[in-house]
Structure 1
Amino acid sequence: MSAAMPAQPSYPRFSEIVRHFAPGWFAAVMGSGVLAITTLTLSARWPLLAPLAWSLHYFNLLLFGVLAVPWLGRWLAHRELALATLKHPVQVNFYPTFSIAMLVIAAQFLAFGGQVELALLFWWPAMVLTFVFSFAVLYAIFGGEHVGLEHVTPANFIPAVGLVVIPIAGAPLLGHLQGSARELALLANVVGLGAGSLMYLGLLALTLQRNYLAKPAFGPLAPTVWTHLGPIGAIPLSLLNLAAQLPVAVPDGTLLFASLLLWGFGAWWVVMAAMLTAAAWRRGMLPFALSWWGFTFPLGAFVSASFRLAHDASLGGVELFGIGCWGLLLAIWLLTLLRTARGVASGALLRPQP
């Protein structure tokens, strides 16, 4: 008698997709958005890239709309499961990707056609949600005993990343606000950048301690090593954007020098992250997972900072390094998009993830 073939799992129903929808899906929106913006910036040098940039812009708007349906549906239909994720030592850190994705889209609307009203429509709720998630995530971690040193990865930066991203679109939008709305927005930008920057410094020390004292975060969490580049790229952009909107004069040279020092650490970390990722690949410990989108936004934020600092400081070397990282970003984005499409087509990425 021939052995019975194992039954193939059926494609998950929409209700099952909603029930088990992972909060980290919006990292795909973050990565696609920053690729669109950096491609548009680079099109000033190579105009042939402009159609690609606009295509990425519209693709990302569609992607956000598609992903928002199951994300919101899970909160409405399975609120207890959504809240239970707050107790997961790793997945909880990915909740802010929803609001960060909205902040990225606000920046897209400013970059692509200067659509201020649409940018504000996304920025206001995104700013509020970013603060809400930062408190909820950190309170869940601080108030429990379920997180150990083995759970500490650069994914813990995500709430801080959300806070420092607020002024990227928020600071330029201050010029379009007046009265109490402007004062509130300015306060949110200042608090977000201050809290996120110092939070990153503390978490940087914690993750380096983990790198020294615990096993490497290989496996599905291997891409999180690139998350360092998120705050490294976002902080200089937000700092320069916010300084231009303050009612007091801030020395441009001092801010630019400090931003370049932070960029230097980012350039060093690009090499370190590449080495660690290659090590995971060689050991067969880099399986495809939704976390691969964690490669994209941090690298894109660093590319965006590279282009801005190269322009402001007239440093060709910084721009060339940024262009190289943009090429790497595009290649990783295409590979991750292809693997994600396969996972969605088979239903593997839509089932409960380990």
Structure 2
Amino acid sequence: MRSDESERQGLLGDLSEALVYLNAVVFFLLLIPWLLRWVKYPEDAKNDLYHPVTSHFYGTMPIAMVIVAMNLAMAGHTGIAFPLWLIGSLLVMAFAFFIPYLFFVGEGVDIKTITPAWFIPPVGLMVLPLTATPFVPLSDQWKGAFIALNYFGFGAGFFLYLALFAIVMGRFITHELMPPMMAPSVWINLGPLGAGAVALLNLSKMLPVGIEALKVFAFFLWGFGTWWLVMAVLITLHYLRNLHLPYSLAWWAFIFPLGAYVSATHSVGIAFGIDAVDSFGFAVYWLLLALWLITGVKTLKHTLLG
């Protein structure tokens, strides 16, 4: 039995390491056109940055960077991963300041441009402590500043998310549904809730003060995430039954937020020793895998068809 279990763990370990390298390769390949657009079409890139919907998606690039950095560190490549994590963290903070600033000094936005995509900058801030754990012991000299940076990330990201959540909920309740093309963005709300729960558990390990309070707060975030998961499924089914749900790159909004929620479910289940929570997370993982496969196949298909 032990040999079978160790063999399974070995196979899963090899698969996970292969996925780490695959993710890193895909990230750097996609980073090339992302950067080239700023060089060849700066006006278009700038227009997107100032747009009330597309501006928020600029935060996805540095979020991907810090996640890739964390994965590389877990695979033993800390020398490459730590500088990548620092660059990604600086870019996360830059977009988290700049995008809200544009709204503050602007002339207002149309209610129809308010979508859960607005949660991306704050979720980026909460992803910092989610991804920072492999780098905490690197330097005792900078450990205090490093921990402060991660607490800043969660604090700023969480309260910014709360403010934006009230605005988005107001839009959901008082106005019509979003266009079908934007329907997958409903799932984005799982991102800050899932990432926030895991971030709190990581923060409790970085600075052992108020550990139990942080863990309980993580459990609360997970609870709200569970409510939102059910709501996101119901809204998606409403689009499928009564409207339509055409494929677009927005379908990737099904993936990362749900992945963050699955990670949070597993982490909360382990932290509190509740097998039922962990088992529920494993069940939701199969939904995540199915959505990932469907979205990946559709993306390849539409890419090949131009």
The interval holding the TM-score normalised by the smaller chain is over 0.9
Which of 137, 140, 164 pairs up with 2:99? 137
Specify whether residues 164 and 45 from structure 1 end up closer, same or farther in structure 2 by C-alpha distance, changes over 3 A only: farther
Which of 59, 70, 80 pairs up with 2:33? 70
Which of 172, 176, 195 pairs up with 2:138? 176
Q: Structure 1: how far apart are the matches of 2:12 and 2:234?
A: 30
The residue number in structure 1 matching 2:118 is 156
The residue number in structure 2 matching 1:123 is 85
Q: Does 1:343 align with 2:302?
A: yes
5+ long unaligned stretches in structure 2: none
Q: Structure 2: how far apart are the matches of 1:139 and 1:155?
A: 16
SS in structure 2 of the partner of residue 95 of structure 1: helix
For 1:288-339, what per-residue CA distance to the aligned partner results, in whole angstroms no more than 9, with x for missing partners?
0000001100000011111111111110111111111111111101111111
Q: Structure 2: how far apart are the matches of 1:267 and 1:44?
A: 33
Q: Structure 1: how far apart are the matches of 2:7 and 2:119?
A: 33
The residue identity in structure 1 corresponding to 2:49 is L
Q: CA deviation at 1:45?
A: 11
Q: CA deviation at 1:119?
A: 2.2
Q: Structure 1: how far apart are the matches of 2:294 and 2:90?
A: 33
Q: Structure 1: how far apart are the matches of 2:18 and 2:289?
A: 14
The residue identity in structure 2 corresponding to 1:208 is M
8 A contact 1:149–1:210 mirrored in 2: yes
Q: CA deviation at 1:89?
A: 1.6
- Structure 2 counterparts to residues 221-240 of structure 1, below 5 A: 221-240=182-201
Specify whether residues 46 and 322 from structure 1 end up closer, same or farther in structure 2 by C-alpha distance, changes over 3 A only: farther
Q: Does 1:101 align with 2:60?
A: no
8 A contact 1:218–1:286 mirrored in 2: no
SS in structure 1 of the partner of residue 206 of structure 2: coil
Q: Structure 1: how far apart are the matches of 2:278 and 2:209?
A: 25
Q: Does 1:219 align with 2:219?
A: no
The residue number in structure 1 matching 2:237 is 278
Q: Does 1:202 align with 2:159?
A: no
SS in structure 2 of the partner of residue 145 of structure 1: coil
Q: Structure 2: how far apart are the matches of 1:44 and 1:300?
A: 26
The residue identity in structure 2 corresponding to 1:182 is K
Which of 52, 57, 63 pairs up with 1:89? 52
Q: CA deviation at 1:186?
A: 2.5
Q: Structure 2: how far apart are the matches of 1:114 and 1:44?
A: 20
Q: Does 1:191 align with 2:152?
A: yes
5+ long unaligned stretches in structure 1: 1-42, 348-354
- Structure 2 counterparts to residues 236-251 of structure 1, below 5 A: 236-246=197-207, 249-251=208-210
Structure with more relative contact order (C-alpha pairs < 8 Å, separation 6 or more): 1
- Structure 2 counterparts to residues 291-310 of structure 1, below 5 A: 291-310=250-269
Q: CA deviation at 1:149?
A: 1.7
TM-score (norm 2): 0.93
Q: Structure 2: how far apart are the matches of 1:193 and 1:110?
A: 21
Q: Structure 1: how far apart are the matches of 2:8 and 2:119?
A: 34
RMSD: 1.9
8 A contact 1:96–1:133 mirrored in 2: yes
Specify whether residues 335 and 51 from structure 1 end up closer, same or farther in structure 2 by C-alpha distance, changes over 3 A only: farther
Q: CA deviation at 1:92?
A: 0.6
The residue identity in structure 2 corresponding to 1:92 is S
Q: Structure 2: how far apart are the matches of 1:200 and 1:177?
A: 31
The residue identity in structure 1 corresponding to 2:205 is A
SS in structure 2 of the partner of residue 178 of structure 1: coil
Specify whether residues 293 and 233 from structure 1 end up closer, same or farther in structure 2 by C-alpha distance, changes over 3 A only: same
8 A contact 1:106–1:119 mirrored in 2: yes
8 A contact 2:52–2:109 mirrored in 1: yes
8 A contact 2:204–2:215 mirrored in 1: no
Q: Structure 1: how far apart are the matches of 2:287 and 2:13?
A: 18
For 1:195-244, what per-residue CA distance to the aligned partner results, in whole angstroms no more than 9, with x for missing partners?
00001111111111111101112411101111111010111211221222
The residue number in structure 2 matching 1:269 is 228
8 A contact 2:92–2:121 mirrored in 1: yes
For 1:75-114, what per-residue CA distance to the aligned partner results, in whole angstroms no more than 9, with x for missing partners?
1222222111122121111000000000111221233x24
**Higher helix fraction (1 or 2):** 2
Q: Structure 1: how far apart are the matches of 2:120 and 2:34?
A: 18
Q: Structure 2: how far apart are the matches of 1:270 and 1:49?
A: 27
The residue number in structure 1 matching 2:73 is 110
Deviation >4 Å, runs of 4+: 43-46
